[in-house]
């Protein structure tokens, strides 16, 4: 069957409802970057290995997420995003994290497509991963090479 809610080859699903996400909702802006086009075809977020997006990702995270998830993703009224425990294990993947951000989960975790463009969500994802202090072996977004040289986020060493 043809799924009209996808903008690329991949179908994305709501994290708690399992229903297809309609990616045509939200801003038209930020849909045509190389990273978004690649992501919609593959589910792979290129920004994960692009340090140049971290500053923007941080800025967006601080406006859209930190009020509930904490300045460093340590958790507040929402769960910690910087450790290796996930309520929804798929959030350890690029695709899963995006699905939760785009479509929301339960309660206060509402859909973010009204606040952030697709491109911005991929940048926020890169920042969320940058905040990680958990076991590198459980960091599915890292390549085997990156796991070997992984250093946990250190707020004192990463100001600004």
DSSP string, 13-62: B-TTT-PBP-TTSS-STTSSSHHHHHHHHHS--GGGG-GGGHHHHHHHHH
- According to DSSP, residue 108 is labeled T
> Residue 85, interface with Ca ion (CB under 5 A)?
yes
Distance of closest approach, residue 127 Cβ to ligand HEM, in angstroms: 9
Residues found near ligand HEM in the complex (CB under 6 A): 16, 64-65, 67-69, 77-79, 81, 86-88, 91, 97, 100-101, 105-109, 112, 116, 124, 128
Residue 19 or 85 with smaller CB distance to Ca ion: 85
Distance of closest approach, residue 140 Cβ to ligand HEM, in angstroms: 13
Residue 47 or 132 with smaller CB distance to Ca ion: 132
> Residue 80, interface with Ca ion (CB under 5 A)?
yes
Closest residue (Cβ) to Ca ion? 80
Range 60-79, binding Ca ion (CB under 5 A): 79
Whole-angstrom distance, CA of residue 96 vs CA of residue 88: 9
The partner residues of 13 in beta bridges, in order of sequence, read 20
Distance of closest approach, residue 65 Cβ to ligand HEM, in angstroms: 3
Whole-angstrom distance, CA of residue 84 vs CA of residue 145: 19
Task: Give residue 37's Cα distance to chain centre.
Answer: 16
Helix/strand/coil for 129? helix
Q: What residues line the site for Ca ion (CB under 5 A)?
A: 79-80, 83, 85
């Amino acid at each position: 069957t043809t799924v009209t809610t996808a903008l690329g080859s991949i179908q994305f699903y709501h994290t708690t409802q399992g229903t297809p996400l309609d990616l045509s909702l939200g801003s038209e802006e930020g849909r045509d970057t190389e990273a978004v086009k690649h992501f919609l075809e593959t589910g792979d977020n290129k920004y994960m290995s692009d340090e140049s997006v971290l500053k923007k990702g941080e800025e967006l995270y601080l406006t859209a997420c930190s009020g509930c998830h904490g300045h460093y993703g340590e958790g507040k009224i929402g769960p910690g995003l910087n450790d290796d425990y996930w309520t929804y294990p798929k959030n350890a993947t690029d695709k899963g994290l995006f699905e939760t951000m785009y479509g929301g989960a339960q309660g206060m975790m509402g859909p973010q497509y009204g606040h952030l463009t697709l491109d911005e969500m991929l940048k926020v994802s890169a920042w969320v991963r940058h905040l990680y202090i958990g076991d590198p072996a459980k960091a599915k977004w890292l390549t085997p090479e990156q796991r070997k040289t992984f250093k946990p986020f250190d707020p004192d060493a990463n100001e600004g």
